[in-house]
Amino acid sequence: MTVGVPATPWFAVRRELAPRQRAVLALIAVLLPLAVWSAVSYVPWIWHPMMMVERGAEDSYLKPGTLVEHGAFVRENQRLVSAGQVPATGVPANPVFLPAPHLVAIALYQAFVTPPRLRGDPWLHQSLWQSIQVIFWGFTLSALVGVPLGVLCGTFAAIARVVEPFVDFIRYMPAPAFGALMVAILGINDAPKIAVIFIGTFFQMVLVVANTTRQLDRALLEAAQTLGARNRQLVTSVILPGIMPNLYSDMRVLLGWAWTYLIVAELIGATSGISYFINRQGKLLNFANVYAGIAIIGMIGLVTDQILSALGRALFPWQNQPVGAVTRWALAIIGFVPRVVLRTVARNRAEYQRSQAELLARHRAAAAPSAPHVERPETPP
């Protein structure tokens, strides 16, 4: 920070914070929920509405290890005392659906290293990979059709008038309702799951993209027209690059929707993927494992979104958004692989072109001397 520049206030309307402030807030964003969760889990006088029985009592349902409501525990002990028996002891505990953070962490680790109970059942990472594939295909197919259609709707009123009423109609139908239908049509494996994700995102996507397209400043289109751009050029050279940053954030939001549809989609037909894991652990009352499963989805979502956001800033430099140091590092790492690939591709292409040129030259030399047929059109200065 330079001398004389006042520190950025924490609450300034629509102003970016200083890097230090951003880092602090990011840390708080992670630590605050964790702290609350830990407090509720580990501090005995916060919440803890249950009792975990330590030493049981005879002739009673209070057996060691059972979890009972606080009130019921007290009443049962009163009954035992008045009957002249030794009361049970216990410690305050939370209900089974709120496991402590360390239990979830252990469960998370255990879930990955525990081999599947039945041979042929998938490991957790295999289930996860399957989920990711379902999301990927569902969302990619949806984007491949939905984005062009949305752009066309936002560009040409004639197309919007035909497409949008229909899309709007289907949009209100819950995607999971199509599940049974999709199974009947597509079988019980991944196809109907992909279809549900497609249905869940596609119709929203068309409308969202059409709207984003309409928001492009009209003056840019007019300027392009006075510069000689025609219909198709307007779409490819003005509308597409112009809406790209907003389109990109639309896709990020819609990708989140795809994950919410995933859980329902995976219960269709043969239950599979991460939902299978969560569902099964829920039935077995292993709530630590359920939380582990949910946390995995959350983490995948968060990491993907952070990567996409960082990538967005790198892709659209004219947006003038600050790129933090962490982001730059992440990008450098992410960027390394494609760069190697691109460089290789470029080198190969250059070699190919050189060889083609040589070939052509030899060909020309062999043929009778004639005028070269490639000629740049003369443009008057």
Instruction: Kindly tell me which of 172 and 318 has the beta carbon lying closer to another protein.
Output: 318
Residues 105, 247 contacting (CB under 8 angstroms): no
Least distance (Å) from another protein to the CB of residue 242? 7
Instruction: Rule CB under 8 A: choose which of 4, 65, 228, 372 binds another protein.
Output: 228
222 binds another protein (CB under 8 A): yes
Residues 313, 323 contacting (CB under 8 angstroms): yes
229 binds another protein (CB under 8 A): yes
Burial class (CB in 10 A: 0-12, 13-18, 19+), 320: exposed
Instruction: Rule CB under 8 A: choose which of 31, 35, 74, 227 binds another protein.
Output: 227
Residues 53, 64 contacting (CB under 8 angstroms): yes
Task: Identify which range of 24-32, 124-132, 241-249, 332-340 contacts another protein by CB under 8 A.
Answer: 241-249
Q: Which of residues 299-318 bind another protein (CB under 8 A)?
A: 316-318
Task: Identify which range of 95-103, 218-226, 253-261, 285-293 contacts another protein by CB under 8 A.
Answer: 218-226
Instruction: Kindly tell me which of 320 and 370 has the beta carbon lying closer to another protein.
Output: 320
- Give just the sign of the alpha carbon dihedral 59, 63, 66, 69: positive
Number of residues that bind another protein (CB under 8 A): 25
Instruction: Rule CB under 8 A: choose which of 32, 83, 223, 342 binds another protein.
Output: 223
Residues 155, 235 contacting (CB under 8 angstroms): yes
212 binds another protein (CB under 8 A): no
Q: How far apart (Å, rounded) are the C-alpha atoms in residues 358 and 101?
A: 67
Residues 93, 80 contacting (CB under 8 angstroms): no
Instruction: Kindly tell me which of 260 and 321 has the beta carbon lying closer to another protein.
Output: 321
Token pair recorded at residue 11:
């609450």
226 binds another protein (CB under 8 A): yes
Instruction: Kindly tell me which of 306 and 319 has the beta carbon lying closer to another protein.
Output: 319
Strands 89-93, 50-55: pairing kind? antiparallel
Q: How far apart (Å, rounded) are the C-alpha atoms in residues 10 and 28?
A: 14
Residues 174, 301 contacting (CB under 8 angstroms): no
Instruction: Kindly tell me which of 78 and 236 has the beta carbon lying closer to another protein.
Output: 236
Least distance (Å) from another protein to the CB of residue 236? 10
Q: Which DSSP letter does residue 51 get?
A: E
Least distance (Å) from another protein to the CB of residue 22? 21
Residues 269, 82 contacting (CB under 8 angstroms): no
Residues 212, 246 contacting (CB under 8 angstroms): yes
Task: Identify which range of 83-91, 216-224, 296-304, 340-348 contacts another protein by CB under 8 A.
Answer: 216-224
Q: Which DSSP letter does residue 67 get?
A: E
Instruction: Kindly tell me which of 59 and 378 has the beta carbon lying closer to another protein.
Output: 378
Instruction: Rule CB under 8 A: choose which of 99, 179, 200, 242 binds another protein.
Output: 242
Q: How many residues in the chain? A: 381
Least distance (Å) from another protein to the CB of residue 320? 5
Instruction: Rule CB under 8 A: choose which of 14, 283, 363, 376 binds another protein.
Output: 376
Strands (DSSP E) contained in the chain are: 50-55, 67-69, 89-93
Task: Identify which range of 105-113, 140-148, 197-205, 219-227 contacts another protein by CB under 8 A.
Answer: 219-227
Q: Which of residues 131-190 bind another protein (CB under 8 A)?
A: none
At 95, give phi and psi (nearest 5°).
Answer: -60, 165
Residues 88, 80 contacting (CB under 8 angstroms): yes
Least distance (Å) from another protein to the CB of residue 325? 22
Least distance (Å) from another protein to the CB of residue 241? 5
Instruction: Rule CB under 8 A: choose which of 238, 255, 292, 297 binds another protein.
Output: 238
Task: Report the helix count and the strand count for the chain, using DSSP H and E.
Answer: 13, 3
Three-state secondary structure string covering 216-267: CCHHHHHHHHHCCCCHHHHHHHHHHHHHHHHHHHHHHHHHHHHHHHHHHHHC
Binding site for another protein (CB under 8 A): 217, 219-220, 222-230, 233, 237-238, 241-242, 244, 316-318, 320, 376, 379, 381
